[in-house]
Structure 1
């Protein structure tokens, strides 16, 4: 028995599913292993948890393949459980070491999880929840992103639908993901409906939607009146009109939902002490500052170095060597939303930070793709923000440029010697 496991009275491996959970249990003072199945029902999980604690007492270690989800939430409320998340790929490789055929069954996976935590406890960190406010923010910003992806999917489908019978609507408006566009298509769902509308009615509609440019209104109405139908096939128009109206309603619901999330998200970050470190970052704004705050979190002991965060987020590339060959590729297993956060923010800094813009252009000049060139400043940004986060010191562009100047950093040369001093003055 490893000395680091002596604090636990029992060890449990769980292989979770939607309807049931396979369990493998071993007491700390016994080599015998027991197997059980728990239905995924709140009362049954509760009964099982209390029965295990009454039997063993003390603190019990649980190893499972995820860090969040229904079974995690059900177990986290019991202070006598310490949860150890195990990466699914780690468990899969461990299983494959003993079963090259890759045969899989749930009770065996539960036992393998138990085996890992008992034999290699130093390899796994216990799940330590952050504050309620931070966990709420992290969940909301990720859920908001999922809603925007849904809205984009519906918008793209609407665009494809309109192209089949009513492409003019796409030409008359620059943006389809707006209430203005949704209301227009709802009121005039075909080219014929729009062309027959009176000029005064169209003018009133646009003004009611806060479109104040008389020139733009006139140009748009002129285009509507001069439009010609793409097709007069009733079968095509009727079916696609119905689909367009359904998609418009879905987009409208998504826009309203995103707005509700924006209101809730805007109110929460200012209540957290670390928000000041992210609220004024170049290009962060109301959308990305909360996401950056959630990406770093509040547990400063979680990452010992910036490199750990770079690897966790998937921004750090992976170097592989075999014999005399070596190659680099991007990290496949990482929290995708965290990686998106850093890359999307880096894209915003390209036009708002002197060194980030120059560094991005340098990467493009070397032949890197747009996404690869964005990951390069994202990699550097994490190192910079990590120090600010650890020291609780807001980022200052002028101080960073001054630090580059003092150590004669090659980055400074990218800014151009003829206007470096001007950039210092503006920063």
Structure 2
């Protein structure tokens, strides 16, 4: 008898439904999110044929709406197939069974169980990644989140400074990091208002620049900052300016915390990633450094059965185009439903590969010559290199420029000439 199980996940409890191949409910239960609740779940599954004592045990597959949390981790550790279903897809399945749009936790658990009963082959179970790969994923995603938090904190601070302190923005306008530079943050800490910046002495400003880590052209940079801060400019009323300076210190503290988190998480991610056996293969690709390589591994994992073909991986990353066809209408466009983290890393990877690989740059130029815009050409380059990465990881070999971007073969007549 084919039995499937569905679990409607919640924060403090979960609803469970077990059905057979004829859609008959074999059992339902509400369990708590703790060890006792997990034991209750195992007991219910055992009562319906999930026995680990069988000579060839076949655990009951389980569909759940999340891949995170203690319950999902324990189910994966038990060796059974766990399917993390998208809540939007579950809502579409619900309409197949209940046209009145009635909804309940128990009904959702039943829908999840029926999804596996009818369409299990259309869904992908959670990958069997190693603990090392999953740990790298935790750190790499946290570091990427910290980068996004840093960007938001930087933009908030910059927007605030434009209202009363444009001199600090002008002083670091030619710097690549702008307000993220250590010098800018060090000066803001001692002079959060234009009045305090104008009163800075040359020795104090020089000490701040040195303390921020600058080692060359210290005197020239100090003179430049003094000149900018002492220029005549529009000012807010003194009391308002002082209040805005206090707000700047609060925003600066948030930016400093985000910068420290980025640096600490990046260091720990790189250390852990270099311990993985696939790290050497991934970083052999042009444009992939240790941190970006860790982000790639975090999203694709190290379960090589997860993506049977390179086409599957490309669709998951959103680099492969999608075709929408109806009657005489046919439209090919880029995918919007994708792994956003992998797609974001892929854009940086393709851009960095332009200067690191002559073959990648030539491929990009060919795509531009055929009419592709900038982002489309980068996406196609990422699509090609992702296929190469899939091949190298599957065959356990490093990237070879001569093979990965071999010149196209000439036609027979041209070759003979």
Whether the TM-score (by the shorter chain) exceeds 0.5 is: yes
List per-residue Cα deviations over 1:351-404 (Å, max 9, x = no partner).
222232233334445554432221110111112222212111111213334x32
List per-residue Cα deviations over 1:330-353 (Å, max 9, x = no partner).
222222111212222111112222
- State the alpha-carbon separation in 2 of the partners of residues 262 and 149 from structure 1: 13
Look up the SS of the partner of 2:61 in the other structure.
Answer: strand
List per-residue Cα deviations over 1:396-420 (Å, max 9, x = no partner).
213334x324x249xxxxxxxxxxx
Which of residues 226, 251, 258 in structure 2 aligns to 1:247? 251
Cα RMSD, aligned residues only? 2.4
Q: State the partner residue of 2:293.
A: 289
- The change in CA–CA distance for 1:53 and 1:33 in structure 2 (over 3 A counts) is closer
Q: State the partner residue of 2:65.
A: 65
- State the alpha-carbon separation in 2 of the partners of residues 74 and 170 from structure 1: 51
Displacement of 1:102 in angstroms is: 4.8
TM-score by length of 1: 0.85
Structure 2 contact 347–382 (Cα < 8 Å) conserved: yes
Counterparts of 1:26-65 in structure 2, within 5 Å, are 26=19, 31-39=24-32, 41-53=33-45, 55-56=47-48, 57-58=50-51, 59-65=59-65
- State the alpha-carbon separation in 1 of the partners of residues 95 and 43 from structure 2: 33
- The change in CA–CA distance for 1:365 and 1:103 in structure 2 (over 3 A counts) is farther
2:321 paired with 1:317: yes
Which of residues 344, 349, 353 in structure 1 aligns to 2:348? 344
For structure 1, the 5+ residue unaligned runs are 410-427
List per-residue Cα deviations over 1:251-301 (Å, max 9, x = no partner).
111111111111211211221111111223212123212222334432222
Structure 1 contact 147–254 (Cα < 8 Å) conserved: yes
Higher relative CO (Cα under 8 Å, sequence separation at least 6) belongs to 2
- The change in CA–CA distance for 1:142 and 1:393 in structure 2 (over 3 A counts) is same
Look up the SS of the partner of 1:67 in the other structure.
Answer: coil
Counterparts of 1:364-383 in structure 2, within 5 Å, are 364-383=368-387
Structure 1 contact 15–21 (Cα < 8 Å) conserved: yes
For structure 2, the 5+ residue unaligned runs are 52-58, 412-417
Look up the SS of the partner of 2:144 in the other structure.
Answer: helix
2:353 paired with 1:332: no
Q: State the partner residue of 2:280.
A: 276
- The change in CA–CA distance for 1:30 and 1:196 in structure 2 (over 3 A counts) is closer
Q: State the partner residue of 2:5.
A: 12
Counterparts of 1:389-400 in structure 2, within 5 Å, are 389-400=393-404
Counterparts of 1:79-94 in structure 2, within 5 Å, are 79=79, 81-94=80-93
- The change in CA–CA distance for 1:390 and 1:100 in structure 2 (over 3 A counts) is same
Structure 2 contact 38–71 (Cα < 8 Å) conserved: no
Runs of 4+ more than 6 Å apart:
none
Q: State the partner residue of 1:117.
A: 116
TM-score by length of 2: 0.87
Look up the SS of the partner of 2:82 in the other structure.
Answer: strand
Which of residues 11, 17, 20 in structure 2 aligns to 1:24? 17
